[in-house]
A and B are shown apart, each in its own frame.
Chain A
Amino acid sequence: MIEQSPKLIHAFGALAELGQEVANKNNFQETIRTSLHLLSGALGIMRGGVARYSRYTRELNMLAIRGLGDEFPLSLTVCSEDERQFLASGLNAIDAHAARVLPFFQVYAASFERRNIELFVPLIIRDEIVGGLFLGEKATGEPYSSYEKEIICAMGRHIGVAISQRNLLAEIERRSDENRKLFEDLRRTYADTVKAFATAIDCKDKYTEGHSVRVGKYTELIAAELEWSPDQVEGAATAGYLHDVGKLTVERKIIKLRTALTRKNPPN
């Protein structure tokens, strides 16, 4: 352990920097790229990549790669059997050579061998696969020790959290967009309802036909010309369209009365 102290100190320094990088909420792509650098630099790893997992398409899509070349697939498919095994093993380093029983390592065996991919780490956060780490050989040429795998997993957890946070943010943005569209639909429905009311009011009396609709439109134009805010313009227009709304509850014969309405002169 004593002779490994400098290695540990160096790795812990990288781990601290990674924590800071993830917490800083910089540009997501840049965070992932820097994370890969920190991981490689912590243990002297020659090449590797960080991928984000899409549970809808069951694909690991590369977010950052180093030294993997142009031929390495940027999108890797994961089947249900792989997914089940990854979830069962948790966030642990999987030896790519020893895991050949899994379809994932069989399908991509040639690519992994060509670029010396030795370890794959499924990034699992809150029982969900959010991504994966692909790690090539160490510059020393030695195999990964158990404590190095632990450091990789600790760093992987940070990277996984960064991806998970990003996914969460994207989901919030999507829902907020959906809500905005629903709100717009509601506003349109409200405006249409107000206009329908105005038409109904105008139908009550042939003499003032179209009056409420005209008042609504003119009010809207005047309010806009006065440079009122959109909310104020909308409010004024609504008031214009509905200013005679009381007519709806008044009997038609009273509205059509040609003389003054008095107790002595009730409509027939």
Chain B
Amino acid sequence: MAKRAAPEVNAGSMADIAFLLLIFFLVTTTIETNQGLSARLPERQPVTEDAPPLRKRNVFEVMVNQNDQLLVENELMEIGDLREAAVAFLDNGGDGSCAYCQGTKDVNSSVNPNKAIISLRNQRGTSYKMYVAVQNELQAAYNVLRERERERLYPNEVSWTEMWAQYNAAKTSDARKDALKPKIEKLQELFPYKLSEAEPKKD
């Protein structure tokens, strides 16, 4: 009676228990979608300050109404054509002061990318989906132009969007960030992002 071998525990149900836990975690897992369009809101300005006068040719007016229709420079436009129109406007180089512009030098379009402003106005009834699509297309227009200049100035670098992503990621090394910084600043200077959002009219 002194020595009795301890009975072995049956591990057959181990798999069942593990499966149960597995299914629980499978169900509760949500892959986080933390990506999106970055934007910067304008600071509150003192009301007394007069806005500097803008020449009409330097402003690219985009309006979206409550039926999600797009009015660009007072003409109806499909969202699919917006990117091209914005690129043409920014790249116009009307007064010849912009050496790298390849636009048509239209007299009714912007004089220089530094002066070109895109003005976006939406109404309270505009759908968020449409608004995001418009924002996306305008951002894309800048990305297209910056990528073109990147190819010209830094042909050995990764694409503009990739440069920007690396520059903003925390895991990128400091040395790489220092190398990217002047290039990014140069490209941003060539085509500065100037989007003005008017407060929507009450309707």
Q: Do A and B bind each other?
A: no
Interface on B for A, CB 8 Å cutoff? none
Interface on A for B, CB 8 Å cutoff? none
